[in-house]
Structure 1
Amino acid sequence: MRLFSRLLLWLFASLLSLGLVGLIAAAVAFAILSPGLPSVDTLRDVRLQVPLRVVTREGALIAEYGEQRRIPLEADALPPQLVQAFLAAEDDRFFDHPGVDYQGIARAVRHLLLTGEKGPGGSTITMQLARNFFLTRDQTFHRKAQEILLALQIERALSKQEILELYLNKIYLGQRAYGVGAAAQIYYGKGVDDLDLAQIAMIAGLPKAPSAYNPIANPRRAEIRRAYVLGRMLAEGYITAEQHAEAVDAPLTAQVHASSVEVSAPYVAEMVRQTMVAQYGEDEAYSGGYVVRTTIDGRMQRAADQALRDGLRAYDHRRGYRGPEAQVALTGDEASEDWEALLADYPRFGGLEAALVLAVDDDAQRARVWVRRHGEMELPFEAMAWARPYLRRTARGPAPEKVSDVLSVGDIIRVDRAAEVPQLAAVPAVEGALVAMDPENGALLALSGGFDYFRSSFNRAVQSRRQPGSAFKPFIYSAALAKGYSPASMLSDTPIVMHDESLETSWRPSNYSGRVYGPTRLREALVHSRNLASIRLLRNLGIEDTLGYLDALGFDTRRMPSGLSLALGSAEMTPLDLTAGYALFANGGFRVMPHFIDRVESAEGEVLFQARPPVACVECSQLQVQTDLQEETGGVNLRPVAESVMPATDAFLMTNIMQDVIQRGTGRAAARLGRSDLAGKTGTTNDGRDAWFVGYNSRIVAGAWVGFDNNDQLGPRETGGSTALPIWTDFMEQALNGVPEAPPRQPEGLVTVRIDPEDGRRVRAGEGRSMFELFREDNLPDVTPRGGGSGAGSREQDIF
């Protein structure tokens, strides 16, 4: 008995000694390792990397930028079954241990002693969190010791729920998905609340090895891992046997779901991206979780893209088919995989799919084609009857009579599958842009910078400086109104010859029609876009004075020519510049600043930037508007008034004249919209390299431009009215669908007077031919013509 007591005492002393040694060793390890450990207090203020999101003004997603895809979720937004799946798979004693599972570590040590190899069983969710935030993934004892110490500190600093929330938002789950929110979206296109049990188990099985168990890359191994997780959930009592059996047998439904872009506006998205990178730096912009709400209207953006693409394709059809994009030799032994491989380098552009011609049958008048990612289909001859071959800018070949006149086996072509019957198509060589904005405050409503951003990221709406041609004339004519001209002032539309001694040549401008029209009222000269009358008008106004007037309107006159060609629109500007200029006429003469970002929010929803653009207000002073808004917003002035740079009377007169452009002038094709509140102007450069139409009502101002990037000529009969106006009209038809007419309100100071249409003089009722014309009250025409070149109703002097 005494021997047994001595043995127990020796055993107790040995254990106490070992414990003391262990405590000393732990204390020494802590003393050595702890100075190099990061502070876990930073986890309280941790900022997860969340991508930059760009949305429309309605909140629809336009684009997302960032390497790490993450959708942060708060603890109460995590479905209980999802949490249970991760606990079963990764740490079933999570709520029982202090951050380190000593039973698991004991199993890992025993495995190491028995096999000499590192094994599983030692890592908890808290330890994984420590590793993911603070440590590397190196498999070393030193790193494991640091991990244990950090896990213990984390458990003292954070609650279990806080640890779970951080872990499930931080963990990498493959396919650039960080956190369960992103994984649910990327693998299944769902939110976490919509996942079924099989999908939950699949995601919960990924942390162990995201690449090895990835259901996209390794579906078989992923299925085995899913079964393991489901088995663990059954063993822990989280699911029933019936639920387990059903989920184990469920098919794999994972596939890559890109961020669900709801409105395609890549040119706008790139403008936002560049702005955010300039403001916050690249790393912060891409990972700070910012949400940029743009001014873009989703419905109008879709209409703009479609109208521009349809218009560019219509031009391309008129000029002729330029042939296949490539030609490959086929042996006849290829399979569908080979056809897909041949088309791999031809992505979808502008809704047009690449296709490979497999067979041509002239007897049946059809071709058999393989469409990239869509499979085999037939194209009837009717689908290609339009394809007269392009010969040169001014000529096309004969109309095709059979399929082989257009297609050959091995051709790589384009197909429009959106048509009721699939059509042969072509990616147009010509380019264009369309811009729409709110004339009240300058907010961009839609912007399309080309046929397809992924074919060419060059944003023609804001980067391409082109000559506006006659679309610039309204600004010359508004300068005339400021100088005392009226819509009834007489201009001389007669031949002009300008000699340039330095070039030893002469400039002989002409009207588009080649005719001259003699004395012409100012209204008619603009409605019918008379070049000769416009040049004479600018000469009378004075080039320097006119440039000063244009500078006050907001144009960059440093880039403008100081010659008479300015009257014909030889100044170069972007579609956005010109469209913003027309906003002056639409809003009553106020200079508004184009902008495309409405506000910027932080990842937490805090508003970091809110646009406060100056707004047009014809009927009130700035002080009145500020006072009214202070009452509405609790003393915060949100909407300063824009600068008035044109009298409201002049803006209204110009709008009235440009309404005639649509009703009976060069823009009359827009009359098909059946609206009386539209005004605008066509533009075509003299050498036919640019075609424009800019038009508006009081709610929307929009500009369309068409041209070649290399500045080639568009070809015969390609004008602003025939090439750009259809794009504008198609867009406005959709943009104004369901919107009541909004005619401009006539400001005070204008009166209607009866005039003689031949000479613009004022006449009495019943005195020969007469018509009504609008005038400023201080600028009424004389009853009889008077000399001089600036007064209303006057006839210009012949100054050349």
Structure 2
Amino acid sequence: MAERPRSKTAQKQKKKKKISGRKWFYGLFFTAAIAIVCGIIGYLLIILNGERILAENGSKLNLGEASIIYDADKKEIARLSAVLDNREVAEYSELPEQLLNAIVATEDQRFYEHSGIDFFAIGRAVVKDVIARSAVEGGSTITQQLAKNVFLTADKTFFRKATEASIAVALEHQMSKQQILTMYLNRIYFGNGVYGVKAAAKYYFDTELEKLELWQVAILAGMPKAPNRYNPINHPEDSLNRRAVVLQLMFDQKYIEEADMEKAKAVVYERPANYEENRPESYPAFIDYVIEEAIEVTKLSEEELRIGGYHIYTSLNQQAQQAMDTEFNDDDNFEKSKDEQQVQGAMIIIDHRDGTIKALSGGRDYVKKGLNRVELPRQPGSAIKPVISYGPALETGDYYPWTILKNDKKCYNNYCPTDRWGPTPVSMTQAIKDSRNLAAVWMLNEIGLKRSFEFAKKLGFDLEQEDRNLTAALGGLSKGATPMQMATAFSVFANGGKSVDPHTILKIEGQNNYSYTYKAPASKQLMSAETAWYLTEMMQTVVEKGGSGARAAIGRQLAGKTGTTQHGIPGYSGDGIRDAWFVGYTPEWTAAVWMGYDKTGKDHILKKGSSQSAAFFAKVMRPAMKGVQESSFKKPQGVKENNPPAAITNFNAIFIPEEMKVQLSWDPIQDGQVTYKVFRKEASESEFIEFVDSLTSTEVDDMSAFPGMTYEYYVVAYDAKNNLESPPSQTIKVVIPETEIIPDVPMEPDPIDPDGGEITPPIDEDGGEGTPEPGDGTDLPDDTGGPDAGNGTGEPGETPDTGDGAGNDILDGLFDGSGTDGNTQGTGG
């Protein structure tokens, strides 16, 4: 059978296959060439990147000398270094050969052969990661580990690993293997706060490096992979197993003989006789603050500061700091939480005489470089009232501690503040003692927001535009205030109105004759000395019996202010407090205490409020100030004395139904020349108005009282010569009964008896004239008086009683009161 001719399509396919083979050859060739070129370029980029990083951060390679921080008595409290303080630097000549062999055998078997990157180890790690489907194996060399330790974080990402590799290659170009290995052993962490192999030898074995035995070397060489897990004190069994692995690796790589390996495996570790557990760094929040301040004044980086061998002298008072730490470590000082989020707190103590910070705490369980709540803004609540309302008012010269403030429930452009007090006006002193909200808002409204905010700005509160409303009087600020700001502002009050510059650093000395000494900025008079004195005078009542901060008393002269803020949780109507404050000062020191949750929620709100903050203040300040010489608040010359007239006594308000008037009377003021003012408001009105002014008598009638209305009255005495006003009298409420309107009826002439005389009225059964019996159509509602309140207009000839408490007089039904006379309501003053 003849062979069929091939189709043109088949011929083309055959011809195409021959051409594709050649193309594949050239394709692979050029691909390989391009890959090699790209590899070379990539390697050069890696080297250049590493060189750049080293050039920019070369100072980090220098271990340097640890800087030292001292307290106010020049006692050492902390040593600083590049990482932590417990480190000793070893020279290469001090490192035992077996230690070097153990580290290389365990961490980087090809250390002496590679140039910073071990591609064989990387390939092995990739294979293991692929098999495990996760990053379980590291291919890092000792040089890469050093690069990571010095320059990078510990996250395991491609970009971080690429940067690590570039730095490692650059290190290998600039340093010898001996230098790299020495720096690595001086840098790595060995658990329990120990850094560097020299310190580890002393800590775990109480011996010098050159005296280390093989079994000890193996323990140390096994620890860098997991310092806490593999150290022999915390986990002896894990350490024993890890030691065996290290010894086996050393034997496999022919660094030791089998007999040496078995002998070293058999040794039982015992803790040194003089072992002392490394304690956490003392005063971490204070030290963190010192470092921040030192960086600012020296213009050094933190790394340069830590390893520069500086001597930093601070204002720390260890007695005060320890007293503070003790109370922060006592859980009973804080409300219990429902879960792991605990109630937090912050406190700072400042000597306002020179601005030195004596102690501070950034929170419970504060850790190094943690959240320092002393510098965290929170809503200050009523603690801001001296800054926003009362301080600016006093500074005008128009108001004094004895000035009477209105305490009416009133709305201001749809803002309607409330408090638990009645509407009776109060003195500024009483308002701040009780922490009355209505009086504070009224005061701010009177002086104006512009004047208030200018005053606050002088004290360090740079308020936002959205804060420019009356809610600021009660601490409703958009950003809030920090404990540092509050303590600084109150320090100005305590310092006679002069500026205070809080600081911790007194002096810094360093190498090459470096020296820094704190110099206080020029003092500024931020408010008059009189204003500062009046605020101090008023706030001393806050910590007296009956004051809102009475639990803060410490047996010294003390002034202060409480503050609380409501939870403000959307959709939650229950009670609860977000922030609780007490800020107070003695003639020597000022302190601010804040308590609350970091994140407020319906399960994370306070119940006790500022009383607990006030109590915490006292617990800290009593022992903190032990030995601090007591002084007194200094009264400036020329301060106007508070000698207002005495309060009105025996004030009575009685409705006289026959004359349709309210009769007001009171006892006269015996001392001084005074006149009297009577204030009145109808029940539906929000504010009292001045009803009568300049009275010289001690009684007056209100003839304008309308039936069916309820009125409230109070009286003050006024000294016109000194422009002083007495505290208001008690407030009395008077209910005017409804009156039946009788139409006019033409009068008939009196009957004439036959003998020409007038006919006398008939005599009633009880012997009286024929007048209507009580109760004949003039009874009052049952709910307006006492048991016999509905007895009409009274028996003929009976004098209305002004109050025997029995509730059976004719006027008992006309008054709604809770006073002792049964007829009046006293709200107090």
TM-score, with structure 1 as normaliser: 0.51
Q: Does 1:508 align with 2:416?
A: yes
Q: Does 1:253 align with 2:142?
A: no
Show the counterpart of 2:453: 547
Spell out the pairing of 1:620-659 with structure 2 (5 A cutoff).
638-659=519-540
Give the 3-state SS of the residue equivalent to 2:647 in structure 1: coil
Give 1:301's match in structure 2, choosing from 308, 313, 321.
321
CA distance in 1, matches of 2:607, 2:721: 40
- List per-residue Cα deviations over 1:385-417 (Å, max 9, x = no partner): xxxxxxxxxxxxxxxxxxxxxxxxxxxxxxxxx
Show the counterpart of 1:538: 444
Give the 3-state SS of the residue equivalent to 2:547 in structure 1: coil
Spell out the pairing of 1:102-113 with structure 2 (5 A cutoff).
none
CA contact (8 A) 1:579 1:702 kept: yes
The alpha carbon displacement at 1:542 in A equals: 1.8
Show the counterpart of 1:578: 486
Give 2:379's match in structure 1, choosing from 448, 455, 466.
466
Show the counterpart of 1:767: 671
Give 1:737's match in structure 2, choosing from 626, 639, 643.
626
Give 2:468's match in structure 1, choosing from 530, 544, 562.
562
CA contact (8 A) 2:393 2:447 kept: yes
The alpha carbon displacement at 1:540 in A equals: 1.9
Q: Does 1:679 align with 2:613?
A: no
| Corresponding letter in the other structure for 2:501 | M
For residues 557 and 221 of structure 1, do their structure 2 counterparts lie closer, same or farther at Cα, with a shift above 3 Å needed?
closer
Show the counterpart of 2:586: 697
For residues 294 and 312 of structure 1, do their structure 2 counterparts lie closer, same or farther at Cα, with a shift above 3 Å needed?
farther
Show the counterpart of 1:269: 288
CA contact (8 A) 2:647 2:727 kept: no
Q: Does 1:661 align with 2:542?
A: yes
For residues 209 and 575 of structure 1, do their structure 2 counterparts lie closer, same or farther at Cα, with a shift above 3 Å needed?
closer
| Corresponding letter in the other structure for 2:560 | G
CA distance in 2, matches of 1:714, 1:514: 29
Show the counterpart of 2:251: none
Give 2:363's match in structure 1, choosing from 430, 444, 450.
450
CA contact (8 A) 1:684 1:719 kept: no
CA distance in 2, matches of 1:265, 1:210: 27
Higher relative contact order (CA 8 A, sep 6+): 1
For residues 466 and 210 of structure 1, do their structure 2 counterparts lie closer, same or farther at Cα, with a shift above 3 Å needed?
closer
Show the counterpart of 2:71: 57
CA contact (8 A) 1:467 1:573 kept: yes
The alpha carbon displacement at 1:456 in A equals: 11
Give 1:66's match in structure 2, choosing from 82, 87, 100.
82
The alpha carbon displacement at 1:64 in A equals: 4.8
Spell out the pairing of 1:482-501 with structure 2 (5 A cutoff).
482-485=395-398, 487-500=400-413
CA distance in 1, matches of 2:647, 2:334: 40
Give 2:636's match in structure 1, choosing from 742, 747, 762.
747
The alpha carbon displacement at 1:150 in A equals: 9.3
CA contact (8 A) 1:62 1:266 kept: no
- List per-residue Cα deviations over 1:166-202 (Å, max 9, x = no partner): 999996496459xx9955544544999x979977999
CA contact (8 A) 2:197 2:220 kept: no
Show the counterpart of 1:756: 645
Show the counterpart of 2:616: 727
Larger radius of gyration: 2
CA contact (8 A) 2:185 2:197 kept: no
Spell out the pairing of 1:352-501 with structure 2 (5 A cutoff).
427=340, 429-454=342-367, 457-473=370-386, 475-485=388-398, 487-500=400-413
CA distance in 1, matches of 2:588, 2:401: 28
CA contact (8 A) 2:315 2:358 kept: yes
Show the counterpart of 2:742: none
CA distance in 1, matches of 2:176, 2:436: 81
CA distance in 2, matches of 1:523, 1:476: 13
Show the counterpart of 1:374: none
| Corresponding letter in the other structure for 2:63 | Q
For residues 174 and 689 of structure 1, do their structure 2 counterparts lie closer, same or farther at Cα, with a shift above 3 Å needed?
closer
Give the 3-state SS of the residue equivalent to 2:366 in structure 1: coil
The alpha carbon displacement at 1:548 in A equals: 1.6
Spell out the pairing of 1:11-26 with structure 2 (5 A cutoff).
none
Give the 3-state SS of the residue equivalent to 2:583 in structure 1: strand
Give the 3-state SS of the residue equivalent to 2:493 in structure 1: helix
CA contact (8 A) 1:535 1:567 kept: yes
For residues 467 and 714 of structure 1, do their structure 2 counterparts lie closer, same or farther at Cα, with a shift above 3 Å needed?
farther
| Corresponding letter in the other structure for 1:647 | S
The alpha carbon displacement at 1:496 in A equals: 3.3
CA contact (8 A) 2:491 2:590 kept: yes
Structure 2, gaps ≥5 residues long: 1-58, 101-145, 148-172, 233-237, 248-265, 568-576, 649-667, 675-715, 729-829
CA contact (8 A) 1:491 1:537 kept: no
**C-alpha RMSD over aligned residues:** 5.9
For residues 517 and 252 of structure 1, do their structure 2 counterparts lie closer, same or farther at Cα, with a shift above 3 Å needed?
same
TM-score, with structure 2 as normaliser: 0.50
The alpha carbon displacement at 1:54 in A equals: 7.0
For residues 292 and 219 of structure 1, do their structure 2 counterparts lie closer, same or farther at Cα, with a shift above 3 Å needed?
farther
Moved more, 472-481 or 523-532: 472-481
| Corresponding letter in the other structure for 1:651 | A
CA distance in 2, matches of 1:169, 1:299: 40
Give the 3-state SS of the residue equivalent to 1:440 in structure 2: coil
Give 2:429's match in structure 1, choosing from 487, 509, 523.
523
User: Sequence identity of aligned pairs in percent?
Assistant: 21
Q: Does 1:315 align with 2:335?
A: yes
CA distance in 2, matches of 1:201, 1:680: 65
CA contact (8 A) 2:427 2:727 kept: no
CA contact (8 A) 1:50 1:70 kept: no
CA distance in 2, matches of 1:70, 1:716: 41
Structure 1, gaps ≥5 residues long: 1-44, 76-81, 91-131, 134-145, 155-162, 227-247, 326-426, 501-505, 613-637, 771-781
CA contact (8 A) 2:215 2:267 kept: no
Spell out the pairing of 1:177-326 with structure 2 (5 A cutoff).
183=197, 185-189=199-203, 216=232, 252-253=270-271, 260-266=279-285, 269=288, 272=291, 276=295, 279-281=299-301, 284=304, 287-288=307-308, 292-308=312-328, 310=330, 314-316=334-336, 322=338
The alpha carbon displacement at 1:457 in A equals: 3.7
CA contact (8 A) 1:589 1:644 kept: yes
| Corresponding letter in the other structure for 2:551 | A
CA contact (8 A) 2:483 2:592 kept: yes
The alpha carbon displacement at 1:507 in A equals: 2.6
The alpha carbon displacement at 1:284 in A equals: 3.9
The alpha carbon displacement at 1:581 in A equals: 0.6
For residues 195 and 455 of structure 1, do their structure 2 counterparts lie closer, same or farther at Cα, with a shift above 3 Å needed?
closer
The alpha carbon displacement at 1:703 in A equals: 0.8
Spell out the pairing of 1:107-126 with structure 2 (5 A cutoff).
none
